[in-house]
Chain A
């Protein structure tokens, strides 16, 4: 991506709170009309990153650019960047219509009363709040408040919208629906969304590209399927919450772990030696079977029914819990005896190996 098509770019931004680095030399850019999702555990600095871009926080060092202009020292209300808050932050004393119209009625750019009314109505219709215009914001449901928050930001026609865990306050059912709506609305408006989330499924489902943030640093950026199939580090694999991670030792193209020694010709360079195997790549065999690939003895503990899949939990000799996912579209699940030992096996090429000796 070149700088010409980038809508915003942050360059080596560092921000500390009381000696703790919330952001450590972060450099990131996003293109026009792109959906970027930012995944990170709590405390990774993702909200701080959004607040720096929005102008609520001044970075200790580094620059922030928006539409090719350096906005590092520009106050928030002159930036023209939309921000959707986690708790929606609606104006409690105003109606839905007044909330949506606020930016046009009281913002830096003056908009005529006619235009304000017309644009307000258009965006209210777009987010599906027609008929609710004169309700107070405490008289509508959580999903509707989310839409008001979105409408209030979008009506200002920003080129960049920052969303801080926008679906975090909604229940699971609504979250799924709002995901689709967010994507649809974004495509209709042609703006860039930077969506911060702590949920790996949300990040993968929504972003055109996903940025993984950990302890104030960007540790991977890529398309959702790339991140999912080739995590760049054990930490990324851990945040994706889809991998069993085994500590071991990488040496001379082989990885030695609790399951013995396996060939690891394609190992990725990382700060520690870890072998990652996806939950759904593991197979369970009886102890008597002779596996073709590497295998690990483990005790069955319990399972969890997820609707479309069953999660089986096993415990290895050293007390580590291993998760095995069986997708129900692949046939009826196996049944296991609690406290019985089984062999967990996988195809050798399915393991992703990280290590200090990797490439």
Chain B
């Protein structure tokens, strides 16, 4: 009870919350409610009516194309999450912890962000001349006589989608982790050394647990973006990899609003579960 009184006093006039409520209602609550509602509409080839039906839902789970897209999405999400973490954590460790000068670590973080100065689509498409059969990587490997035949699996496969996404989203993993590592008091690490712990122990018992909130925030960023992806898979897989995002794009393109809504609801639920799971790992309220 006393907590509540203190809280209201501290929060000030309650009308300040109004713009936030209006914004959230207009751009989140109502659209999501609409998607849920439309997913139960009746779809015919050329028309859609608001007669409630489960047809679209049944069709989604009965079709290998749709469920396959769900599993592909989950699989690619897990692989990209793992690669961004494996590449991103050591980078963050270097930028946030090993670089002693604050200026230099800021400069390095800015360098990580430089690719974002060009548009998202250009960054994705730039992978084509890199990965193609006569692309940069194959030419270099051929010139160095490491391979005698061009590697063909590099482009228009699931691998190229994973490479592209990992590169694009890695920085979202590096940033939050580097931030958390930068906040660790250097004396704590020296104290652990003084108590006789070697680097391995210090890393697993001190540094990693203290950076975990950053890992969780980074993982949430990457997950949300990868799960909703459609452009990278569209541009780099040659239409062979269909994610839930691609399904939605195709369905909307052919005016199949009900099916697009079903896919949208499923995608939203998956994202919600993923975020909830990450938030269970670390109590972000307390850590940040």
A interface residue numbers (CB < 8 A to B): 54-56, 75-83, 85, 87, 89-93, 102-103, 106-109, 152-153, 156
List, in ascending order, chain A residues with CB within 8 A of B102's CB: none
The smallest beta-carbon distance between B118 and chain A, in angstroms, is 40
A77 touches B196 (CB 8 A): yes
For chain B, residues 174 to 214, give those with C-beta under 8 angstroms from any C-beta of chain A.
185, 187-188, 190-198, 201-202, 205-206, 209-210
Contact of B187 among A75, A82, A89, A109 (CB under 8 A): A89
List 12 extra interface pairs beyond A56-B190, A77-B198, A102-B195, CB under 8 A. A56-B193, A77-B197, A81-B194, A83-B194, A85-B187, A85-B190, A87-B185, A91-B188, A92-B210, A106-B201, A106-B205, A156-B196
CA distance A153 to B202 in the complex (A): 16
Chain B contacts to A: CB under 8 angstroms: 185, 187-188, 190-198, 201-202, 205-206, 209-210
A89 adjacent to B205 (CB under 8 Å): no
Contact B191 A89 (CB under 8 A): yes
| A124 CB, min distance to chain B CBs, angstroms | 16
Closest to B194 in A: A83
Q: Which residues of A contact B194 (CB under 8 A)?
A: 54, 56, 76-77, 79, 81-83, 153
Inter-subunit contact B187/A77 (CB<8 Å): no
| B193 and A77 within 8 A (CB) | yes
Contacts of A152 in B (CB 8 A): 191, 195
A264 → chain B, closest Cβ, in Å? 48
| Inter-subunit contact B197/A103 (CB<8 Å) | yes
Which of chain B's residues have a CB closer than 8 A to the CB of A93? 209-210
Whole-angstrom distance between the Cβ of A151 and the nearest chain B Cβ: 12
Are B196 and A83 in contact, CB atoms less than 8 angstroms apart?
Answer: no
**Contacting residue for A108 out of B187, B198, B205, B210, CB 8 A:** B198
- Cβ distance A94 to chain B, nearest Cβ, rounded Å: 8
Chain B, residue nearest A51 (CB): B190
Answer whether A91 and B196 are a contact pair too, CB < 8 Å, given A83-B190, A83-B191, A85-B187: no
Most buried by B among A75, A89, A109, A153: A89
Given known pairs A103-B197, A106-B205, the reply for A91 and B190 (CB within 8 Å) is no
